[in-house]
Protein backbone atom coordinates (compact mmCIF):
# COMPACT_ATOMS: atom_id res chain seq x y z
CA UNK A 1 0.00 0.00 0.00
CA UNK A 2 1.24 3.46 -0.92
CA UNK A 3 1.05 6.24 1.64
CA UNK A 4 0.35 9.77 0.44
CA UNK A 5 0.37 13.00 2.41
CA UNK A 6 -1.05 16.17 0.90
CA UNK A 7 0.64 19.13 2.55
CA UNK A 8 -1.22 22.43 2.73
CA UNK A 9 -3.51 24.67 4.65
CA UNK A 10 -6.73 23.27 3.20
CA UNK A 11 -6.93 25.61 0.21
CA UNK A 12 -8.81 24.75 -2.98
CA UNK A 13 -5.63 23.47 -4.69
CA UNK A 14 -4.86 21.20 -1.73
CA UNK A 15 -8.38 19.75 -1.87
CA UNK A 16 -8.12 19.25 -5.65
CA UNK A 17 -4.78 17.47 -5.21
CA UNK A 18 -6.17 15.09 -2.58
CA UNK A 19 -9.22 14.34 -4.74
CA UNK A 20 -7.03 13.72 -7.81
CA UNK A 21 -4.89 11.21 -5.92
CA UNK A 22 -7.92 9.41 -4.46
CA UNK A 23 -9.68 9.28 -7.84
CA UNK A 24 -6.61 8.02 -9.71
CA UNK A 25 -6.06 5.31 -7.09
CA UNK A 26 -9.68 4.20 -7.34
CA UNK A 27 -9.51 4.05 -11.14
CA UNK A 28 -6.24 2.08 -11.03
CA UNK A 29 -7.47 -0.28 -8.31
CA UNK A 30 -4.53 0.66 -6.09
CA UNK A 31 -5.01 0.73 -2.33
CA UNK A 32 -3.60 3.88 -0.74
CA UNK A 33 -3.54 5.67 2.57
CA UNK A 34 -4.19 9.40 2.13
CA UNK A 35 -3.54 11.95 4.85
CA UNK A 36 -4.02 15.71 4.71
CA UNK A 37 -1.40 17.63 6.68
CA UNK A 38 -2.23 21.21 7.65
CA UNK A 39 0.35 21.73 10.42
CA UNK A 40 2.81 24.32 9.10
CA UNK A 41 5.68 22.99 11.21
CA UNK A 42 5.28 19.53 9.67
CA UNK A 43 4.93 20.98 6.17
CA UNK A 44 8.12 23.02 6.60
CA UNK A 45 9.79 19.96 8.12
CA UNK A 46 9.41 18.28 4.74
CA UNK A 47 11.12 21.28 3.12
CA UNK A 48 7.98 22.33 1.26
CA UNK A 49 7.78 26.10 0.90
CA UNK A 50 4.96 26.23 -1.65
CA UNK A 51 1.76 24.22 -1.24
CA UNK A 52 0.19 21.95 -2.08
CA UNK A 53 2.94 19.46 -1.54
CA UNK A 54 2.73 15.71 -2.00
CA UNK A 55 4.72 13.17 -0.01
CA UNK A 56 4.75 9.59 -1.29
CA UNK A 57 6.08 6.93 1.08
CA UNK A 58 8.12 9.54 2.98
CA UNK A 59 9.57 11.32 -0.09
CA UNK A 60 8.44 14.73 -1.35
CA UNK A 61 7.42 14.15 -4.98
CA UNK A 62 5.65 17.44 -5.74
CA UNK A 63 5.24 20.99 -4.45
CA UNK A 64 3.68 24.22 -5.59
CA UNK A 65 0.51 23.51 -7.52
CA UNK A 66 -1.99 20.87 -8.52
CA UNK A 67 -0.16 17.94 -10.13
CA UNK A 68 -1.12 16.87 -13.64
CA UNK A 69 -3.25 13.72 -13.94
CA UNK A 70 -0.42 11.89 -15.75
CA UNK A 71 1.93 12.71 -12.89
CA UNK A 72 -0.51 11.32 -10.30
CA UNK A 73 -0.96 8.11 -12.32
CA UNK A 74 2.84 7.74 -12.56
CA UNK A 75 3.12 7.86 -8.76
CA UNK A 76 0.66 4.98 -8.52
CA UNK A 77 2.69 2.94 -11.04
CA UNK A 78 5.98 3.32 -9.13
Q: Is 33 tagged catalytic? A: no
Which residue is catalytic, options 14, 37, 48, 54?
Answer: 14
- How many angstroms separate the CA atoms of 48 and 54, rounded? 9
Residue 68, φ and ψ in degrees, nearest 5: -70, 150
Q: Is 57 tagged catalytic? A: no
3-class secondary structure, 66: coil
Which residue is catalytic, options 3, 10, 11, 23?
Answer: 11
Active-site residue list: 11, 14
Amino acid sequence: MKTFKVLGGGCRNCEMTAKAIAQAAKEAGVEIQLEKVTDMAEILGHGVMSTPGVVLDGQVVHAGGVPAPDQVRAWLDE
